[in-house]
Amino acid sequence: MNSQAVLEFARGPFFYFALLFMLFGLAFRLFSVISLGWSRDRVSPMGSKTKGVVVTFLKAFLIWPFIPWVKNTFNRNPLIYIGGGLFHLSLFVVIILGTPHMLVWKSLIGFGWATLPLPIVDWMSAIGIIAMVILLINRRIHPVLKLISGPAEFFAWLFVFLPMLTGYMMTHHIGGSYEALYARHMITVDVLMIWIPLSRISHFVFYFFSRAIHGQEFGKRGVAV
């Protein structure tokens, strides 16, 4: 099979399958959790739960990612904050504000938006890749992370890392013809999409629950979150 055909497969049926599988899998995961039953909280609150939820989300989106040193644990392990933070920032910048990625969104949801110039996105992706490598090394040497990491954590790392790496190689035409690189990028993306519901990469779905629970628990006690 030539790379043009591989690319056609990766952009066509494989992507289609991976996307639907991801949506299917995430829906399965989500509903198998939220249908487990939620007991009603009969405790009379001291503060507002809603306020707690709103405040915690605002802080989580607007304060902690940008000034993480307000957390006093930041000093104890800044690497994990900075590495993790930069990785996520890079991810969002690249897949939302990168031109080719925006066009994917546009084709899927029907509208597009302004994007950043290639050099900026390119630097961000390089930062993301470096952050990922540092996080992996950290995971291999930090005693706590060594203890809590199993094959699942490394597979998740690998399947997130590969699309980033192949994407970077594709932009810089390293290691083959454009469509071969493109095919490689698309295949790794498809594999990632399949892996998301099978792994903890799906944390972005449950994040909204745990964060809301946090806000609610602290809010009802009238404690700052």
Partner 1 sequence: MPEETIKKNLVDKGVSRRDFLKLSGLLAAAMGMQLPPLQESGLPMSLGTPVRGAQTEHAILHALETKMRLPVIWLEFQDCTGCTEAVSRSVSPSLTNLVLNTLTIEYHETLSAAAGYQVEQAKQEAMKKYAGQYILVVEGSIPLANDGAYCVIGGRTALEHLKEAASGAAAIIAVGNCAAYGGLPKAKPNPTDAKGVWEIITDKPVVNISGCPAIPEATTGTIAHFAIFGTLPELDNLNRPKTFYGKTVHDRCLRRPFYEAGKFALSFDDEGAREGHCLYKLGCKGPTTYNACASIKWDQGLSFPVQSGHPCLGCSEPNFWDGGGFYQGQSAPLDRPTVAAVGAAVGAGAALGIGAALVNQSRKKAKKGGS
Partner 2 sequence: MMSTTEKAMEAFVHETGGWVAAQLEACTRCGMCAEACHFYQATGNPEYAPVWKMELLRRAYEQRFTIIGGVKATLGLDKRVTDEDLAHWSDLNYEACTVCNKCSMVCPMGIDIGSLLHGMRAGLAAAEVIPADLAAAVTKQVNEGSPLGMTDTVWDQRLEWVADEWEVEIPRDVKGATTMVVFSSIEVMKFPANVAAIAKILNKAGEKWTVSSKAREIVNFGFYEGSEEHTKLFLNRVLDGAKDLGVKRIVVTECGHAYDALRWHAANWIPEASNFDVIHITGVLGELVGSGRIKIKPGFFDNGGKITFHDACKIQRKGGHIQEPRDILKVLAPNSFTEMTPNREESVCCGGGGGVIAVKAADPVRYASFELKIDQVNAVGAKTVSMTCSNCRLQFTDSVDHFKLDWKVAGLSQMVADALEE
Place of tokens 């390089």: 126
Q: Tokens in use for 211?
A: 């964060």
Q: d(Cα 126, Cα 207) in Å, to the nearest integer?
A: 26
| Residue 204 interacting with partner 1 (CB under 8 A) | no
Q: d(Cα 217, Cα 49) in Å, to the nearest integer?
A: 7
| Residue 151 interacting with partner 1 (CB under 8 A) | no
Interface residue with partner 2, options 67, 103, 174, 224 (CB under 8 A):
224
Residue type, 179: E
CB of 112 to partner 1, least distance (A): 8
**Segment contacting partner 1 by CB under 8 A, of 13-21, 59-67, 151-159, 208-216:** 13-21
Q: d(Cα 29, Cα 47) in Å, to the nearest integer?
A: 32
Residue 182 burial (CB count, 10 A): 21
| Residue 119 interacting with partner 1 (CB under 8 A) | yes
Name the binder of 133 from partner 1, partner 2, none, CB < 5-8 A by kind.
Answer: none
Name the binder of 6 from partner 2, partner 1, none, CB < 5-8 A by kind.
Answer: none
SS3 category, 172: coil
| Residue 155 interacting with partner 1 (CB under 8 A) | no
Alpha helices for the chain (secondary structure H):
3-11, 13-34, 49-58, 78-97, 99-109, 118-141, 143-148, 151-171, 178-195, 203-220
Tell me phi and psi for residue 11, to 5 degrees.
-85, -25
| Residue 221 interacting with partner 2 (CB under 8 A) | yes
Applying CB under 8 A, the site for partner 2 has a residue count of: 58
**Is residue 47 a contact partner of residue 222, using CB atoms and an 8 Å limit?**
yes
CB of 7 to partner 1, least distance (A): 7
User: 143-162 mask for partner 2 (x: CB under 8 A)?
Assistant: xxxxxxxxxxx---------
**Segment contacting partner 1 by CB under 8 A, of 10-18, 60-68, 71-79, 126-134:** 10-18
Name the binder of 217 from partner 2, partner 1, none, CB < 5-8 A by kind.
Answer: partner 2
Q: d(Cα 146, Cα 139) in Å, to the nearest integer?
A: 6
**Segment contacting partner 2 by CB under 8 A, of 15-23, 70-78, 93-101, 126-134:** 70-78
| Residue 72 interacting with partner 1 (CB under 8 A) | no
Picking from 30, 25, 24, 18, the residue whose alpha carbon sits closest to that of residue 192 is 18
Contacts with partner 1 by CB under 8 A lie at: 2, 4-5, 7-8, 11-13, 15-16, 19-21, 23-37, 99-104, 106-108, 112, 115-121, 178-179, 182
